[in-house]
Amino acid sequence: MNDLHRLDGFHDLTLPEWGPYSKKYFGISHLADRENGMRFDFTVAPAIYRRQLGVPDALRPSGYLPWDVSADLEDYSCRQQLESKDRIYADVRFARITDRVRLVECRCVNNSELAAAFGVHLLSSLEAPPEKRVVPVLPEGVVWLDSLDHAGLLRAKMRPQDNLVYDGLRRGELRISGTVRGGCIEWGEEAGDRLRFRLPSPVAGPTVAALRCRVPAGKTAELLINGVAAAIAGTGEWELVTAGLPAVEAGELELVSTGGAAWRIDGIAVGARAAESAFVPAEMSVTPEIAPGPVPNSRILSYQSVAPVYGILWSFDSDFVRHYRARSMNEVLLYNDEVHQPFFGGSALREGEEEWVDAVMQPLVAPPGQSVTVYAVVCSGSRGEVETALREAAENKPRFPEMAEESRRRSFRAESTEAGAPYRFSRERLAAVTLTNVVFPTWFKGQNVRHHAPGRRWNCLYTWDSGFIGLGLLELGTRLAVENLNAYLTGPEDDECAFIHHGSPVPVQFYLFAELMNRTGDRELAKYFYPKLRHYYRFMAGRAPSSTMRGSGRNTLIRSWDYFYNSGGWDDYPPQLYIHAHKLHDAAPAVGSSHVIRAAKILRGTAAELGIEDDIGMYNADIAMLEGLLQKESWDEAAGVFSYVRHDAGDRPCGILRHESGANFNLGLDGAAPLLAGICTPEQKEALWRRLESPDHCWTPCGISTVDRSAPYYRQDGYWNGSIWMPHQWFFWKAALDDGRADFAWRIARTALTVYERETAESRGCYEHFTIAAGRGGGWHHFSALSCPVLAWFGAYFVPGRLTGGLEAAIREFSAGENEWRASLEIGGYPGEGNATFLAVTGPGEWRARYGNREYPVRGRVPGTVEFDLPRGSSGALVLRQA
């Protein structure tokens, strides 16, 4: 990739201005105002005429599923069920005409024995973020320094989160209404806390600083602004506190708190008349001005709060258009009969903050076994551009079916060998869900951006979920995966966010980077991301100033309790629940150290590849210390697992955590996590793999149980405890390849693919997890994230031209020809440790493998896919040739 530096300071996605970005409904949205987070939503709600509406509510199961999609999100569709699975439904397609214009096709299908009548509702609304903003009205010569642009916040007492601010915010940032940019800085509770601002230019003479701030009612607070005292008796409201300052020749302001109360600071107005500054509510109205369009069956919508004008045209002759205002859009659409009846008039404006325009096409009749199709066009621009677009759309109506068909041909299709055919349906559905789970606005690093969310139920950041989203996106396009990785990384100069953190600090971004390197071999990609990943790593390894990951002495196993309650993503993992309930936060699990060791190995290999020799000692030291602690303090020989390790008041290991029954409290996937680090002895490997593979312990008909089913704390009704989740299946699948356990690796992948295909075909859902009790999907129904390993397994076993190894495999200089494949390999471990398995989707025929100066046996796994084992602790050239 030759444009990586475009990603500097960039956390958005290079996607169209129109896309599936709504947090409310599945449809198509336009970025109406990026800076202020305003979004225009256009939603298609098919209906059985004068019965229920099929509202594609993104926040509950509502009968729709993203169906097919192009990888660039220019074209996509969803299927809305109106009666049980595919009996009566509508396929809704959004197709690109130009950057500003989208075609909408709604094909209503009747597979019942009787005629069906449909209605199609076209819903238009402007959506504002929850934070209500204000606008500074500044006298002449006054400048505004927003608190979110501060030049540094230093606390008198460092907090663990100072180098890892949650959600990619500034240190001290709160998202709150009544502020200029939807947020402020909370600061100053401790005496000596400092907050710095930089002026656009020095001030030569005396001036005034007016601090817009809020202090809790009943509190009195004082601070110094460049040494000048300013005080406030708090009222709980936003107020201006002024201070006369001498010349600010250095161009910087420093606030120093005297302590006693927390200040919320919106910013500082600076200038001779700063005290006259006023703040008025920002224009964020969502009320549309509705005007007739330039052609029949069209409307133009404009809003005072955003610059773009929007146009809508529909193909079915109808004047049923109504403007609604209500407290709840859903309640009106689902429970109010007036949505079906045109005679109620052109508006229904009640109390409430939600407003929308509904243009209705009805009745649309489809005989049994047939369908009826209608079209719409939605566009944005200036009024003149919108009027032109609507006229052109009216002229192009005869071409709408052809344009929709062209859009269908641009959709992503699952390329695979014939052996992958049984899994294609769920693969395409999960690809569609993964690509379309994008929301706007998501605020972090001072920007409103588009972001791949696990699902619209969680329209926010998630660190480990997003890493797996990236692994899924890698199956759909390299650029998508690169941007996903970049969104969660920061530069070494960022002392507030070592990486973008939300949720469980499982560092999946390192695994995504390794997979990207194995897939591309791109040295420039390694050079670009290495400094960012090193920055991330130093925090995870307890080397950053505020990091407590390795305890007060920076010499313990990894424990992340200061940053999140969840060590491995498994919310109700039994020992994790226990230590929180009993406040035993000295206990360290095995999983955190295992992931940090693996991250160190990944970066050690990258540093060697790039010639950055000075860093290798750091990685070796961390690996040695953590490996030594796991072996000495965590391994329980009698139980055959690694343990949660307790620590005394001096942070010294003092034993393992046991259940009240006396059983080791870590009989589950955390107890086997050091397999991922590659630091187990042969005896430990055998014991752990035996446990994972055994139906008496962790293996189930749906995959590997999070908790050993023989453990006294296993239960059937938990969220993770009693369920199968895909992410840890992926980790152990990769580790099984490292250890040459090809049959078990295939058992993991095949079971997951089979379970997922069966559920998706039956329920039309893409679920979070599978219950061991029933083998059925559960949780959120449009979930990508932690289910994305399904895409990776499909690719590894069925996508032609794919070469896959384990966590220890580095694949470079790869080329796949029709009759010959070549690659340069480095396989971690040590000579004599055993063999690692590689998969190659070669297509039909017999193949031979040569590695170094030896021939190695090649065996078939499924038609079109071969496997071969190569020695650990080796490097060399691989040549695969068709026999």
CATH number at residue 830: 2.60.40
Residue 163 lies in a domain: yes
Would you tell me how many other CB atoms lie within 10 Å of the CB of residue 307?
Answer: 12
E-strand stretches of 705-802: 723-724, 769-771, 777-778
Q: What is the CATH number of the domain that holds 733?
A: 1.50.10.10
Q: What is the pLDDT of residues 115-145, one digit of tens each?
A: 999 999 999 999 999 999 999 999 999 999 9
Strands 354-366 and 347-349: unpaired
- Amino acid at residue number 355: E
Does residue 479 sit in the same domain as residue 552?
Answer: yes
Same domain, 807 and 834: yes
135 and 180 in contact (C-beta within 8 Å)?
A: yes
Q: Establish if 304 belongs to a structural domain.
A: yes
Are both 689 and 767 inside the same structural domain? yes
Provide the pLDDT for residue 343. 82
115: in domain = yes
Q: How far is CA 380 from the centre of its chain?
A: 28
Any idea which residue has 């031979």 for tokens?
A: 848
Q: What DSSP state is assigned to residue 615?
A: G
Within-domain flag for 322: yes
- H/E stretch holding 794: helix 789-798
Please state the domain count of the chain. 4
Residues 37 and 65 placed together within one structural domain of the fold: yes
Q: What angle do CA 79, 82, 84 make, to 5 degrees?
A: 95
CATH code, 92: 2.70.98
- Answer yes or no: is 11 within a domain: no
Both 634 and 718 in one domain: the answer is yes
- Asked whether residue 289 falls in the same domain as residue 277, the answer is no
In a domain, 10, yes or no: no
DSSP sequence for 826-864: EE-S-TTS-EEEEEE---SS-EEEEETTEEE-EEEEETT
Do both 449 and 581 map to the same domain?
A: yes
Question: Strands 321-326 and 347-349, how do they pair?
Answer: parallel
Same domain, 426 and 484: yes
* 214 to 144, 379, 438: CA distances (angstroms): 17, 43, 35
Rounded-to-integer distance, Cα 461 and Cα 455, Å:
11
**pLDDT beneath 50, residues of the chain:** none
322 vs 305: CA distance, rounded Å = 21
Residue 3 lies inside a defined structural domain of this protein: no
Task: Name the CA dihedral angle for 431, 433, 434, 438, rounded to a multiple of 10 degrees.
Answer: 140
Does residue 31 belong to any structural domain of this protein? yes
747 plus 839 within the same structural domain? no
Domain extent at residue 318: 17-125+285-411
> Last residue of a domain, which of 763, 798, 833?
798
The Cα 883–Cα 873 span in angstroms is 28
Same-domain check for residues 431 and 570 = yes
Instruction: Show which of 244, 261, 281 is a domain's final residue.
Output: 281
Secondary structure of residue 46 in the 3-state scheme: strand
Q: Per-residue pLDDT tens for 598-654?
A: 999 999 999 999 999 999 999 999 999 999 999 999 999 999 999 999 999 999 999
> Cα angle vertex 160, ends 156, 163, to 5°?
85
pLDDT on residue 342: 84
Let me know whether 435 and 401 are in one domain: no
Using alpha carbons only, give the angle 436, 442, 444 rounded to the nearest 5 degrees: 135
756, 822: one domain: no
For residue 279, the model assigns a pLDDT of 98
DSSP 148: G
3-class DSSP assignment, residue 2: coil
In angstroms, the CA 484 to CA 506 distance is: 16
Residue 158's domain is classified under what CATH number?
2.60.120.260
Query: Buried b / exposed e across 630-661, counting CB within 10 Å, b at 16+?
Result: beebbbbeebbbbbbbbbeeebebeebbbbee
User: Which pLDDT score is estimated for 80?
Assistant: 98
Among 798, 824, 849, give the residue marking a domain's end.
798
